[in-house]
Amino acid sequence: MPAKVALICGGGAFPVVAANAAQARGEAVFLLGLRGIAGAEIEAFPHAWLGIGQLGRAFEEIGARGIKTVCFIGGLKRPEFTELRLDWGGIKRIPEIVKFLHGGDDHALKGVIKLFENQGLQVIGVDALAPELLAGQGDMAGKLPETLAADLAFARHFLTDLSAYDCGQAAVVANRRVIAVEAVEGTDSMLARVAELREKGRWRPKGRAGLLVKAPKRGQDLRVDLPAIGPDTLRGAEKAGLRGIAVAAGGVLMLDRAALAAQAERAGLFLHGFVGEAP
């Protein structure tokens, strides 16, 4: 069966999980793995490898198979321009690439989407390919304490306001106080920093305290760079002594919702999916 969807694969387990989910739904997939970033597991599917700057090669591989739909999936550390090692297809688009690299991650990713759309390709989000990978609504593990409702509302307002600066997609809050904000280091490193703040006495709550909140940026193109949580996120939250995690339902990727819920229960963490705009 000819492939209908090309998955541009970054790092982590999400590309393979998404490919399996798409195949289970009857979609034929072709995986383009970013060399040095995507895992060798993608080789279980029809695939090709390319460098992150090989735009021309990417368009050739997609076009040769008559594919019209593309999905970006997996983690990616933002490269510097000098690291791209552009092929001729990339060199021809240097003015566009330089323009979208001057700005935050959302600005850059919108530029990448535009490059593919200019080739006549439809870029879809994971929600169209494997909606079961998105966070559910309500309590997925444990129960969000009523006493943390104000903290959740505070964190959601904070992340919404932060969106104007195209910054991170996560924060840890406690008693309407920002303990940590995600920036380029990512959520896991932010949580490690929270644990270190406890150890060094810079943040001294009694017992478990604090809430990790993750959500897309306001105005973000939800087809790319959705925030995600996985087993490491939960381990980091447990080590940091947090009470639980709240994520935007339908706006945050979860590697395996049932497994993560079970892990959260074992760790004594609640896992909650909120909906709607910041209250």
What SS3 state is found at 178? strand
What SS3 state is found at 131? helix
Instruction: Map out the domains of the chain as residue ranges.
Output: 5-129, 134-274
pLDDT > 90? residue 106:
no
| Structural contact between residues 172 and 240, judged by C-beta atoms closer than 8 angstroms | yes
What SS3 state is found at 9? strand
Higher pLDDT, 155 or 95: 155
Could you tell me the maximum CA-CA distance found in the chain, to the nearest angstrom? 61
pLDDT > 70? residue 107:
no
Q: Which CATH number applies to 5-129: 2.170.150.70, 3.40.50.1820, 1.10.3720.10, 3.40.50.20?
A: 3.40.50.20
Higher pLDDT, 225 or 98: 225
Give the tokens for residue 256.
Answer: 């395996």
Domain spanning 134-274: CATH superfamily: LpxI C-terminal catalytic domain (3.40.140.80)
pTM recorded for the entire structure: 0.85
Give the tokens for residue 28.
Answer: 């034929």
CB contact set of 79 (below 8 Å; sequence gap of 6+): 52, 53
Q: What is the pLDDT of residue 219?
A: 80
Kindly provide the b/e burial profile for residues 233-255, where b requires at least 16 CB atoms within 10 angstroms of the residue's own CB. bbebbbbbebbbbbbbbbbbbbb
Given CA atoms 154, 155, 158, 160 in this order, what sign does their dihedral have?
negative
Q: What is the pLDDT of residue 20?
A: 93
pLDDT > 90? residue 255:
no
pLDDT tens for residues 3-33?
689 999 988 889 999 999 999 988 899 999 9
pLDDT tens for residues 180-198?
999 888 899 999 999 999 9
